[in-house]
Amino acid sequence: MKLDSMYQDVILDHYKHPHGRGLRPGDAEVHHVNPTCGDEITLRVRYDGSRVADVSYEGQGCSISQASASVLNELLVGKELGEARRIQDAFLELMQSKGRIEPDDAMEELLEDAVAFAGVSKYPARVKCALLSWMAWKDATAQALGEEPAKADGKTA
Amino acid sequence: MTQLPGLLDTEAIRKDFPILDRVLHDGKKLVYLDNAATSQTPRQVLDVLNEYYEQHNANVHRGVHVLAEEATELYEGARDKVAAFVNAPSRNEVIFTKNASESLNLVANMLGWADEPYRVDADTEIVITEMEHHSNIVPWQLLAQRTGAKLKWFGLTDDGRLDLSRIDEVITPKTKIVSFVLVSNILGTFNPVEAIVRRAQEVGALVLVDASQAAPHMALDVQALQADFVAFTGHKMCGPTGIGVLWGRQELLEDLPPFLGGGEMIETVSMSSSTYAPAPHKFEAGTPPIAQAVGLGAAVDYLSSIGMDKIAAHEHALTEYAIRRLHDVPDLRIIGPTTAEERGAAISFTLGDIHPHDVGQVLDEQGIAVRVGHHCARPVCLRYGIPATTRASFYLYSTPAEVDALVDGLEHVRNFFG
């Protein structure tokens, strides 16, 4: 059944038992919304030099958006920024693949639980849900590292 | 099959809508319950659209050739049909726009540029309600920001109705315009027009009624409403997209300034100034949505041939049945009136803490199309402390079996996320 390709057990597990949920002190905070459906996330990042020391978040939304934030936390916390960005880029590519990328071993090694979202990429209306926290992380990181002027509110494109 | 008193012969009606025969996702029959977003289009309207493009297509009010005259006659004929459909005293009071949003924005802009006594400025107030669609909120926020006028609104009661207990404080002698929805697109609530119009008239304020969710579903009589403007859209009433209507009282349309300038809306033009055509053309700058207007005329014919009162009775019976069945779904909370009285056929609900996106996705897998999200009425979600809702909305071709399919589908959703 097609639904199972979207709602993989890994995703439902993250949804029911999210990793690192809750807001903790950080270097920057962003609030992103998905205006078409009302999914929202407030996300903070903390850096220890170039290492992702913490990603904390609070939000409301569907299982896909919430599970994705949990996976992000699990994957990125503790990584060097360069590695974290490589993961982010790979996830973005996977989500924009419209179901055409079949994750190979290398991708699975890089993305771990996040490969479970491959099925979501077939549903255009849900891709934004999966990307919400990742776009928020990218934005918060840029702000924390002083790469662009801080903005209080943002939208996931 | 469930039989309810007041139901239409949906078996016959559904034959008019080819799309309702679609089969989705490996053999699931389409159950289309997203009619508040857009309605489906009957063959009778599709045929008229085809015939227009195949036989009569031309620009209107310009040429002297046969096609131009035919197109003009069809376009203006559609205006006659719409005028009769809403019982307008004059066909010249019917302005074609591209949708209800444009109709609402048109009024807001007219009032911003108007002379006294209509002018909205820093000393005046605008009144809306907390259950408006964003299209009846944002234009007024824009007008308030540009003019300095104060924006006020009626709040909502816990059971999804307007709180009119302080009506005299909300609508005051400073109020220039009261704009509110006749039937809410998210709550389904049918609002008490008379009380609001009476108070507005007392203080000399104009009244604009957003009838987008009313015109498709019940007999609409603009004279009985006693409003000054009524807005609605074609694609929710079996017509095509790209065509909306603004009805306005003739003397207001004569007094108020145009908003968009261009061809068609003028009398004479020189390089330094212009004079304007009388309404409705004064408000229809540029080539209008001709085929879409003709299609709306055909939709109005179609709905009238069935009878708006009969459609209203059908939907009422179906809504009553749906509410009864939904009450039996564990953890389901209806957002809005929980009986079929004084409400339309759009029913919003939450299902435990399962996000509406997930509800809609699992329903879709079973061929059931509902709307999920905040329905362009985010303040309502904030008011009731919910992120979003799932909304099922019915129309003349909806059946009790489709209500049953929804209820079964929701059971499946609960099992899936349980």
Are the Cβ atoms of A38 and B361 closer than 8 angstroms?
Answer: no
**Partner-chain residue, chosen from A3, A36, A61, that has the shortest CB–CB distance to B362:** A3
Which of the residues of B are catalytic? 376
Q: Choose, out of B34, B361, B381, B383, the residue to mutate when testing the contact with A (most A CBs < 10 Å).
A: B361
State how far the Cα of B392 lies from the Cα of B412, in Å rounded to an integer. 16
Q: Which residue, chain included where needed, has tokens 């009864």?
A: B324
d(CA B378, CA B137) in angstroms, rounded, equals 11
Q: Band the pLDDT of B3: cuts 50, 70, 90.
A: confident
Which residues in chain A touch residue B355, judged by CB atoms under 8 angstroms apart? 60-63, 66
Q: Which distant-in-sequence residues (6+ apart) come within 8 Å of B68 by Cβ?
A: B58, B59, B60, B62
- B417 contacts A38? CB cut-off 8 A: no
Residue type, A140: A
Residues on chain A touching B363 (C-beta within 8 angstroms):
none
For chain A, which residues lie within 8 Å of any Cβ of chain B, measuring from their own Cβ? 1-3, 6-7, 12, 36-40, 60-66, 123, 126, 129
> What is the distance between the alpha carbons of residues A154 and B200, in angstroms, rounded to a whole number?
39
A121-130, B223-232, B355-364, B389-398: which range is least confident on average? A121-130
Within 8 A by CB and 6+ apart from B190, the residues are B182, B183, B214, B342, B343, B344
CB nearest A61 (choices: B365, B378, B387): B387
> What local confidence, expressed as pLDDT, does residue A150 receive?
47
Task: Tell me: pLDDT of A132 over 60.
Answer: yes
Question: Which residue from B362, B365, B374 is facing A38, i.e. has the nearest CB?
Answer: B374
Residue B72's Cβ-side half-sphere holds a number of Cα atoms within 13 Å equal to 13
Kindly state whether B381 is in contact with chain A, defined as any CB-CB distance less than 8 angstroms.
yes
B283-341 confidence digits (pLDDT tens): 999 999 999 999 999 999 999 999 999 999 999 999 999 999 999 999 999 999 999 99
pLDDT at B224: 97
The three-state secondary structure class of B55 is: helix
Does pLDDT of B155 surpass 90?
Answer: yes
Query: First vs last Cα of chain A: how many Å apart?
Result: 30
pLDDT at A153: 46
Residue B30, pLDDT score: 98
Query: Between A37, A63, A123, which is nearest B372 by CB?
Result: A37
Q: B76 touching A, CB under 8 A?
A: no
Instruction: Provide the pLDDT for residue A5.
Output: 79
Q: Is the ipTM above a cut-off of 0.95?
A: no
Euclidean distance between CA atoms B102 and B153, whole angstroms: 21
Are A6 and B342 in contact by the 8 Å Cβ rule? The answer is no
Above pLDDT 70, what percent of chain B? 100
Report the residue of chain A nearest B364, measured CA to CA: A3
Give the CA radius of gyration of chain A.
14
Residue A154: pLDDT band by 50, 70, 90 thresholds? Answer: very low
Q: What is the model's pTM?
A: 0.92
Q: How far is A72 from chain B (nearest CA, A)?
A: 20
Q: Is pLDDT of A6 > 90? A: no
Q: Which of A79, A78, A90 is nearest to A134 (CA)?
A: A90
In percent, the amount of chain A with pLDDT more than 90 equals 68
- Contacts of range B408-413, beta carbons closer than 8 Å, 24 or more positions apart: B408/B366, B409/B31, B409/B362, B409/B363, B409/B366, B409/B368, B410/B326, B410/B329, B410/B332, B410/B351, B410/B359, B410/B363, B411/B329, B412/B362, B412/B366, B413/B351, B413/B354, B413/B358, B413/B359, B413/B362, B413/B363
Give the model's confidence band at A8: pLDDT under 50 very low, under 70 low, under 90 confident, else very high: confident
- Computed over every residue of chain B, the mean pLDDT equals 96
| Interface contacts A/B by beta carbons within 8 Å | 48
Mutation target for A interface from B350, B357, B378: give the one with most A CBs within 10 A: B357
CA dist B340 and B316 (Å) reads 7
Strands (E), B98-248: 125-129, 150-154, 175-181, 206-210, 229-233, 244-248
Contacting residues of A for B357, CB less than 8 Å apart: 37, 39, 61-65, 126, 129
pLDDT at A148: 60
pLDDT higher than 80, residue A36: no
Distance between CA atoms of residues B411 and B407, nearest Å: 6
The per-residue pLDDT for B279 is 95
Nearest CA in chain A to B359: A62
Compute the average pLDDT of residues B401-417: 96
Q: How far is CA B394 from the centre of its chain?
A: 14
Domain annotation for chain B: domains and CATH numbers: 10-32+307-416 (3.90.1150.10), 46-305 (3.40.640.10)
Residue B1 — very low, low, confident or very high, per pLDDT cuts 50/70/90? low
Q: Does B289 touch chain A if contact means CB atoms closer than 8 Å?
A: no
